[in-house]
Each structure stands twice: as C-alpha cells, then as structure tokens.
Structure 1
Amino acid sequence: MPMSGIKSSSLVYRDTRMPAVPDPHALFWYSPHQRPWVPLQSISSDDANGCHLEVYPRPDGDIYICGLGGSPLLRPEDLRSLNPSDVQPELSRAAAGHKSLSTMTSLIDSGKGPDIKQACLRPILPDALPAIGRLSDSINNLYIVAGHNCWGILWSLVSGEAMAEVVVHGRPKHISLTNFEPTRFTTLP
C-alpha cells in the first residue's frame, strides 16, 4: 500500500478564559484579509500568517488548534525511516498559528503562547481517498481501513460500519466502496 504521511503541527491552550462548553463546535476560520469570500474556498484559504485555522473548543475549556499550514508530505520511504520521536512540531508554524489565533479572540493570553505544541502524521494515499475493504480476493480475512488523512475522525463511524458489513456479509449494505477498494493499489494474488 503506497501510504504517505502529511506532517501537521497543532496547538492546545489550557486554562483559557472560555468556560467549559457542553456542546462544542468547530470553527473553520476565514480571515477578512483573505481574498473575497467564496463559499467552501474560504476553508482552504491561508491568512496573512499562512494559516487556515480550525478551532476546536473542548468540553473542559481547552482549545485545540490545527490548520497551521506548512504541512510537508512525507513519502513512504521517508515514513519507514522515521522514528516516532522524530515527529516534532514545526516551531515556526506553531508561532504563526498562535499569532493568527491571537487576532481572532481574547480568550487566550497572546503573550503566553500555547500550553502544548505537538505534531502528527496523517495517513494519505496517492489519490487522497481512503482504502476500505479486502486487500486480496485470494487471501481470506485480510482487510484494511486506512488513509483517511484529516477526515479519519469524521469518517470513522461509516468506515467502521462498512468494514464490519464487509467482514460479516461480504459487502456493505449502506454505501458503495467501489472508489475505496484497496486493490486499486495492491498486486497481491
């Protein structure tokens, strides 16, 4: 499976001035300094700091921030040679994200900075679609559900349901997995 990874930095602010949020929502920030607003295009537009922030208030009052920009694509061979401890946040992107967030809200102390700077690797396949299904028709019980990139949490429920139906019934009942077949990349017998 030709899995690549996108290295992304993120921030967490603890003890913000925001009270606990019983029903948190995500905020996809559009800066008025960006090009004129166009539906959906604004989500991926970078602000003056090269960020396209996604802001996630947590029920405990913490704020999680991603969309700091500058996320490099790591090829499969890069991933194989990478040590987990090597996955560190890009400090310049963390600073840019903090600067962008500071212009959006007074809920954080702009002089203090984030409490946590972290990084992750988001799995992605060459066509940017996940692989969901059997890896080979000739090998029983070999399945994969992977490569969702940043949509893994959102797609987790439907992917899990579809995979359970494939394992139990041989095919999903509610959605077509034609575009997600892992065999589009594999050469197993």
Structure 2
Amino acid sequence: MPEKSEMANKNPKKANLLDHHSIKHVLDETVPEIVGSRGYVEDVRKSNIRLFMGSIIIVIALVAQFYKKKFPENRDFLIGCIALYVVFNVILQLFIHTKEKNAILFTYPPEGSFSSTGLVVSSKLPRFSDQYTLTIASADPKSISAGQPVELTKSVTKWFTRDGVLVEGVFWEDVLALVDKYTAEPKKKK
C-alpha cells in the first residue's frame, strides 16, 4: 500500500471543485483502477461497439463532405448520407441509453472465481449536489451467481482537499469496502 500513496504524492489527481463534471470525472477515472486491483479485468466489448458505430458515422460524414460531385448534382446522394447519419446516430444513442446507462466500468469475472458474471459499476453525481453515488451490480442480473446490487453514497468533500486534490487512500478504502460488500457471501436465513 505504501507504493500507491507514494504514486499519489508524485502525481496527484486534481479536480476543479466548482465544476461537478470535473469532480465526477476524477472519481470515475479512479474507480477502474481500484476495482481492477481486486482481480477484475475490464470488459471493453460495449466500448468497442460504441467506437465502431461512431466510426461508421464519421465515415458517412466524410463521404458526404468529400464526394467528387458538387451540390446540385449530388443532392440525392447527400440526402441519403444525411438519412444514414441520422439513423446510425439514433442507433448509437439507443445503444448507449439501453446497454450502458450510467455505467463507467464493465468487467469479466475474476480469474479463478466461481462466479460466471462480471460487474457493472455505475456512478451518479447530480448537479448542485455533493452526494456521489457508486453502484456495483452484476453484469448479468439474471445469472444464478449474480449478487444483489450494492451502493455507496457519500459527500465528495470526504475525498478531496480544499485545493481539489483527491485523497486517494480514503477513496480507495471506500470503494474496496463496496467491492468486498458485493462479493461477500450472502447470509443464509434459517
């Protein structure tokens, strides 16, 4: 653990405390490191799908922009490109809204684990609020090995100094406790 604190002192993570997006970004960027330290490997398949869809949208825009014919002659082609651009953007937004939601991390199950499902870690920091909510749930909630979702809500003032530097040790402890709470065996009721 001293290595982590030494690294934190050499390269502190800093946020603008007047901007809740900056605060959320710093916290959201730190969570995958913490969850990864417990043996969870990030599942990037959904991110790759999103990047592929975005690439298709960019190609459509580039083809429309640099098509060899000038405007009056390429009118039908441009209308087709605009329609494809809109269709692929709608598909991309639906994918993000239905599959990713507020997720900041998808993982595979840890190596050697009896669980057949990874984690979905999501976060919220409402505007004009200091309450950051971190939720850990199963990547496949219908799986027999899926645990109950767990949640941590805490004021961001507990994790940042007055200068906006993240106190990583405290944040690591809180997130690791949440991961441990999710992975703990449920108590059997008699």
Provide TM-score, normalisation by structure 1.
0.23
Question: Highest Rg: 1 or 2?
Answer: 2
- The structure showing larger relative contact order (alpha-carbon pairs under 8 Å, at least 6 residues apart) is 1
Provide TM-score, normalisation by structure 2.
0.23
Instruction: Give the structure with the higher percent strand.
Output: 1
